[in-house]
Structure 1
């Protein structure tokens, strides 16, 4: 696994090492909880050490009777003869440990050294004495001693605590804490894995060991390595301490001291022992497991009968006094664990409503799901209300299909109840999310039905939202600014009348968005509407409009605005748990990266969207299209499978509405030299767009037809496409340059003069666009343009190590510090193949580590 977020501590340790080998020596204490990555850090430090520095690594073992001087026994073969002889004498009982200390000090004085002693919390008394001895004398030797230990397993009486107290007065002793990984780092490690990065972070609390275990076995609820580790740590507990841990596992991740005391009599001393084993922690008021996955592993071992007993005890204790809103989720959990359906239906809906009001939509969806498991015998009105809440929470938290299913059921029940107002509102919500599921035609039909139902009831806030939904669909489907403005006007009027600020700002936003896509102006109005929603604290409306700006920027190929829009949408939606909006914003961000020529980054971002189990169909279709285009532009295989998968995920109308899916199919055919398919796909798309007005969709399709040598039909076209269709290749290229789209600019220059062709060829070569390079050279030959620039083959021939092009690519990725799995994802090969390439690179360069190989990239003479 990659070593992430450890640069600062590695830089500090490398600085200590450099200073220590020049004298005076130093001691670095590297501490953190089990699995935090202490071993990885010190071993990486060892790999970074210059060749003239001797590296000595030893470790303490968790033995019932530790080996005397166990770490020195590990590294004895690397010590001088005197030290080895003294160690042998200790084993034979003919030599005192202090004689070994003197020999080791003499040995360290002779060579610049890095001495690593791992897991000193398990050290024997002699090793503790050795560290005391060395620490006091380190200023006289050219060595860095790096010692690691688990700070979650040493209490006031631990023998290591005494040693640390001794070291506190030495100025040459430095302490380095390893913190858990951040959400961003966990998300990066999750790239390419079909896991929810947010849930991964939640259950692991950023612990690298747990993260790696889950990623290695993503289908296992609790990976075997975690289960075995937990079992091993629990095995040494007394019966009373184990009982405390079991109760805490049933209580949940956080338990107050009064609650724990209400379940167990006098748990204090047992709790101290449980904390010392490193699985739980306490501040005196609240006790919790360090990691949720650890709690689940313990809970798995608690007998079902005892779990039921504890749940019932907790439920009784918590219900005996006032119930705080923050306790509702715990009460719902214990109600279900206690087998009390009435209590579940009392607390789960309340917990769901509380979570939804706080923007915790995933928690809300889980609580509504819990309530619905016991809702079969509820009155239809109550059950329908639960379904409506469940649908909304699911849709906002990325569980689109589940949310749509609940929404459909709610519509049927409201209709059976004769509740027309709620039926119309449910139809509107269902329409809203059907579009995100890629079912555009059904979304429009359902949206129109919502308006018909609500119009028969007179003006209402719900009717305003229904008109707003039609406005949004008109904008998505590119029906033109007039139709969108008409819907927006009706929605805004009703929003003003009934005090629905969200409807008012969204109506303004989408009317402006329709103008922007067809007439080229309206961005400032969209920004103003978004700012208004933020000022009014309308999270769902704001999130949807923030996502809308990402889409508008991508459709208009506006790289600068697009990057800012995606960054803002990601931050906002992540903070408010708007998962569906967040993932769609990232999908549109992939297109922005693609347009900027950052193809590898675009493919990586697309893989992250695809690997997230909560990605809605539209987001997946966009990401798949990006992957297909990257492969096509780079001349790779397997271009059409992702494009076809994208087409299968959404209906044809949605493929056009996203704007980029259809054009990608046409471009892929052109790059493959299939002009007949180019014209067929392009004419098909233009026919479907005949009743719509979107120059950013129809313009590029017409340009692709023109690039095959055929005459395209007259269609609305945005400025850069209109310029190219009119024969002004220079104007089109300049416009693309201004937008920051190098690939599109180079395509426009294919129609230009000799200097333009040379410029296009250089751009395609810089981008790694091999099919476009080949086509450009063919055009140059046809037009008699000479000389034709060669590709990078001369540079390859000049490579002194004889690396192939693929091996050079691998070496560059090693320089970025990527793992085999990440290299595989970048190059679209299997991790096993990536490992073979890495091995070949190391062999040809004559080095042993990936770090050394990366240094050769910049310093061939080494």
Structure 2
């Protein structure tokens, strides 16, 4: 097993680090199914090992890997490469997966089955990559999810140790992938260890926010290595020298090295070589050792230092221009001096320690460095087989760039940007494109004229011109960089690029390009929380107005229709969707056509054309699956179930969502799965499957990558907590949802459900005025067509508030205005489907109850309407009110309805509803069991309240203070206070207002103008 592990230390004795080694070996045990956790199945372990250069990170990892091999674990090591725009994309993962492929070829092939074309972006040995015709917004997330699942499958039956070294050189894509693994790995006998140099992580180093993010994860253990003390330096010297060192020598080495393990080794070797005098700095010590080599060996060391972290033998031979015998002798000298090491596969060479390479590289003259990079580039161009296929273009771009040859560097850097895009390494693509823009003016005009958009840019397809003959333009690079920045999360940089691009397009009198940049600005403004993006979309529509049909025109219209679907559904958005479909068909853009048709179908349903709209959406879903379009598959399996849920077809929505979750996992659409799980939680809630609601919403919160799906999941959790009577938890989830959504892009589908929750919490806590204010604020904007699915529950919550607080003194001010506002809003909403009709009849019955005018017939209409849809909680609430209205005339039927409602409430653990039903049954002297009592039972104490506590609660409900209660009941204020405290505890409420609201909601003390069911 250790054949895949490169040993780089010279000391035969492992010194110190007992505590750190214990942490790492215990992680091995926990992953294997033992250790401190005691879990028999094992669980993934994530560890960060940091420390300054030379402190001993590599040696510690070597010891852990040796122990892992003794335990029959599979070991794979990958190192970050210091080359390219910001390191080779995913280099350590590619190396580590290649090691796993060598050791477990059949197991890895089985784990990757069905997704080889995607995973080939990391491991080309798996086969051909799946190239897409457009930028895929979820491409990187899909690749990350598939990588996580691949590692979990490989580590199902064996312990796998994955080591990623030198994360301080990691490219952004590697950092994002590692963070994703640390967040999402939940099963498998897997240990992931990442090392980094802490002294290189300055204030603006890109690794710093990465480390801060990992510090917030409880699952990640971080180990920081400190320098050796004098005793440890003494033991290290004894091991290196194979003899007991003299105390003066220990003192001198400890003082000079300051306890750095690598410095100790270098000082010990220099002393062992009897250097007449030691230089003052370690850099000079390292250079002295290099200069002690033969001339050819020194030359080879300088060439290796500039070639990157590792240089292949064939490439080194081409660049060194020595005979093979001379090169081998030079390498033998450098390896014998422990300066260079052969790589594990025997195909290349690297410095034993990066500090030595840096010292040699820093000693090169500027012209010497440029000349060496040119020779590397020329050798690689002459024989591309000298390096791995997946590294060639990146390294060639780096070599030509550092050779300061703009004519050669520009096309090489552009080719590297295309390769980065194909690997979904959008961060590296952005940096390479910025480098290309830097080189643009320096490159000769004939070189620029030979570049074609077809070869290097796909973000903005040329319109009205031949991509085979039209030269690549600077605006094409800006367009490509804008998309890369948006996809990799560098949205601020992307926004600056789009602004500049739009100005240049306007200066060139190119409205089509200007519209495209304006469209990108809309997406960026929305994702950055700077607004809803409509102003930029409106600019884009104005710029394309009157122009011939084009892909850009179709995309602008499709995005405008999609914006209207969630922000302003109605006739205008429907017309825009129809035009988007028409334009996309005219220019042959099927992706945009399908997306626009999906939006069009949703808007048709909102307009009342339910069958036509659903048929359109189902056709798009089937076409997306047939064409194997992951992003559109995700979109259809989110939007279609949402529409089905909105019209009360929750069971059908669950079926589509179950299919969607399976497909999202197949394609690795983790964020899309979070959207689906949020919708699934909503449909489960409607169907009364509340435990599954909780499970789906919590998983959505765990795996969601972007704020909005997490916001919807938190909304579902808040709704569930409120329905189960946990107002504190509901408040927490409400605030979390608001934070996820942010204040800059209000949409009815997110804001109105939050208004319902906020109103419900305020009502449950007796804050009637605040609850009314929530409704008033939401109703000010009106409820345009398409918002009825969210508006009806809000109106019902507001009407129920007014009915429950009838007779409450604090509810009288503003009550008439509130009722009038609800009635006016209800008249504007459509009732085109049964579920909306059911809500309308419920709202009407609640409004009548608020005035004491509701009848059994009113509630029967609502009950029959809800009986036609499968919403058990809503039906139970209506049945309770229906039963209450029947008590004076038909106690038998009322009892049946109450028992049905009570059974539903118990099954759902809906505490507030259960309490309402129990109190109503107690007042009416109705048993909630099927076996009626032999004689009517006298009403017992409510909530265990004593008669005196009932008197106090009646006065609390009337708004009296403790002093007023004391005066009316002839008790002391202190005794009144004690009674109030006892009442709050027995009712399970947090304050006087909530106690009063509970008393009025449960009709514990009916007002004189009410019919009293108990007296019937």
Alignment counterpart, residue 474 of structure 1, candidates 564, 568, 576: 564
Relative to structure 1, is the Cα distance of residues 258 and 45 closer, same or farther in structure 2, using a 3 angstrom cutoff?
same
Out of 704, 719, 728, the position equivalent to 2:797 is 704
Aligned to 1:413: 504
Query: Counterparts of 2:305 and 2:910 in 1: how far apart (Å)?
Result: 55
- The residue number in structure 1 matching 2:830 is 716
Residue 735 (structure 2) pairs with residue 641 (structure 1): yes
Deviation string for 1:111-136 (max 9, x for gaps)? Answer: xxxxxxx989579xxxxxxxxxxxxx
Residue matched to 2:514? 423
Q: Is the 8 A contact 1:517 1:556 kept in 2?
A: no
In 1: Cα distance, 2:768 partner to 2:336 partner:
74
Match of 1:210 in 2: 193
**Which residue in the other structure is 1:225 paired with?**
223
Structure-2 separation of matches of 1:274 and 1:584? 58
Structure 1 position 412, deviation (Å): 2.6
Say whether the 8 Å CA contact 2:312–2:348 is kept in structure 1. yes
Residue 470 of structure 1 aligns to a residue in which SS?
helix
Q: 2:604 aligns with which of 503, 515, 526?
A: 515
Deviation of 1:631 after TM superposition, in Å, equals 5.2
SS in 2 for 1:413: helix
Matches for 1:355-394 after TM superposition, within 5 Å? 355-356=420-421, 361=426, 363-368=428-433, 371=436, 382-394=473-485
Partner residue in 2 for 1:651: 745
Partner of 1:450: 540
Say whether 1:691 aligns with 2:784. Answer: yes
Cα drift, residue 423 of structure 1: 0.7
1:848 equivalent in structure 2: none
- Identify if the C-alpha distance between structure 1 residues 325 and 644 changes in structure 2 by more than 3 Å, giving closer, same or farther: closer
* Shift, 1:297, TM fit: 11
C-alpha offsets along residues 385-420 of structure 1, whole Å, 9 cap, x if unaligned? 333212223334455555444333322331233211
Q: Which of the residues 552, 574, 588 maps onto 2:668?
A: 574
Q: Where does residue 283 of structure 2 map in the other structure?
A: none
1:491 and 2:580 equivalent? yes
Q: Residues of 2 paired with 1:484 and 1:401: CA distance?
A: 29
1:148 matched residue in structure 2:
71
Taking the aligned partners of 1:325 and 1:695, their CA distance within structure 2 comes to 53
CA contact (8 A) 2:32 2:158 kept: no
Calculate the TM-score normalised by the size of structure 1: 0.57
Q: Is the 8 Å Cα contact of residues 263 and 314 (structure 1) preserved in structure 2?
A: yes
Cα 1:327–1:730 change in 2 (3 A) is farther
Could you tell me whether the CA contact under 8 Å between 2:577 and 2:597 is conserved in 1?
yes
Deviations 1:350-369 (A, max 9, x none): 33334435655455445445
Helix, strand or coil for the counterpart of 2:223?
helix
Q: How does 1:584-599 map to 2 (within 5 A)?
A: 588=679, 591=682, 596-597=689-690, 598-599=692-693
**Are 1:315 and 1:331, in contact at CA under 8 Å, matched by a contact in 2?**
yes
Q: In structure 2, how many angstroms separate the alpha carbons of the residues matched to 1:549 and 1:729?
A: 27
CA distance in 1, matches of 2:800, 2:348: 69
Q: Deviations over 1:321-369 (max 9, x none)?
A: 4596863334445566777777664434333334435655455445445
User: CA separation in 1, counterparts of 2:904 and 2:657?
Assistant: 22
**Residues matched between the structures, number:** 620
Matched, 1:625 2:715: yes
Change (3 A) 1:625 1:373: farther
Alpha-carbon distance in 2 for matches of 1:304, 1:631: 62
Cα 1:761–1:322 change in 2 (3 A) is same
Q: Are the aligned partners of 2:566 and 2:748 in contact in 1 as well (CA < 8 Å)?
A: no
Matched, 1:201 2:181: yes
Deviation at 1:663, TM superposition (A): 3.5
How far has the Cα of 1:450 moved from its partner?
1.6
Question: Deviation at 1:669?
Answer: 3.3
Contact persistence 1:547–1:569 (CA under 8 A): no
Q: Which residue of 1 aligns with 2:758?
A: 665
The separation in 2 between residues aligned to 1:550 and 1:708, in whole angstroms, is 31
The answer on 1:179 being equivalent to 2:160 is yes
Q: CA 1:377–1:42 in 2, change beyond 3 Å: closer, same or farther?
A: closer
Unaligned 5+ segments in structure 2 are 1-23, 41-62, 78-155, 164-174, 197-206, 228-259, 270-288, 291-297, 321-326, 449-471, 804-818, 842-858, 884-894, 931-939, 944-1016
- CA–CA distance in 1 between the matches of 2:646 and 2:393? 44
Q: Name the CA shift for 1:656/1:563 in 2 (closer, same or farther; >3 Å).
A: closer
2:71 alignment partner, SS class: strand
In structure 2, what is the Cα distance between the partners aligned to 1:299 and 1:766?
69
Q: 1:461 Cα deviation (Å)?
A: 3.1
Q: Secondary structure at the match of 2:796?
A: helix
| 1:464 Cα offset (Å) | 2.3
Aligned mate of 1:258, from 292, 311, 314: 314
Partner of 2:30: 40
Q: Which residue of 2 aligns with 1:131?
A: none
How much does 1:178 deviate?
Answer: 1.5
CA distance in 1, matches of 2:604, 2:411: 49
SS, match of residue 213 in structure 2 = coil
1:601 to 688, 695, 698: 695
Contact 1:573/1:582, CA 8 A, preserved across alignment: no
Distance 1:281 1:743 in 2: 66
2: distance between equivalents of 1:760 and 1:271? 85
1:351 aligns with 2:413: no
Q: State the 1:320 CA deviation.
A: 4.3
CA distance in 2, matches of 1:313, 1:719: 76
Is 2:73–2:158's contact at 8 Å kept on the other side of the alignment?
no
Give the whole-Å Cα distance in 1 for the aligned partners of 2:507 and 2:784.
37
The superposition leaves residues 208-261 of structure 1 with CA deviations (integer Å, 9 ceiling, x where unpaired) of 2427999986368999637789x9899999999xx9999999977997663466
SS at match of 1:218: helix
Looking at structure 2, the residues matched to 488 and 663 of structure 1 have their Cα atoms a distance apart, in angstroms, of 30
Alpha carbons of structure 1 residues 504 and 49: separation in structure 2 relative to 1, 3 Å? closer
**In the superposition, relative to structure 1, how do residues 281 and 666 fare at CA in structure 2: closer, same or farther (>3 Å)?**
farther
SS in 1 for 2:160: coil
Cα distance change on mapping 1:721 and 1:347 into 2, 3 Å: same
Helix, strand or coil at the partner of 2:756: helix
User: 1:425/1:46 Cα in 2 relative to 1: closer, same or farther (>3 Å)?
Assistant: closer
Do 1:749 and 1:760's aligned partners in 2 also have CA atoms closer than 8 Å? Answer: yes
Residue-by-residue CA offset, 1:130-178 (whole Å, 9 max, x unaligned):
xxxxxxxxxxxxxxxx962566599xxxxxxxxxxxxxxxxxxxx9741
Give the 3 Å change call, closer, same or farther, for CA 320–745 of structure 1 in structure 2.
farther
Deviation for aligned residue 1:696: 1.2
Q: Rg larger in 1 or in 2? A: 2
Contact 1:356 1:364 in 2 (8 A): yes
Q: Does the 8 A contact of 2:549 with 2:587 survive in 1? A: no
Instruction: Please provide the CA RMSD for this pair.
Output: 5.9
Quote the Cα distance in structure 2 between the aligned partners of 1:226 and 1:341: 43
Q: Which residue of 1 aligns with 2:394?
A: 329
* 1:44 partner SS: coil
Aligned counterparts of 1:769 and 1:307: Cα–Cα separation in 2: 77
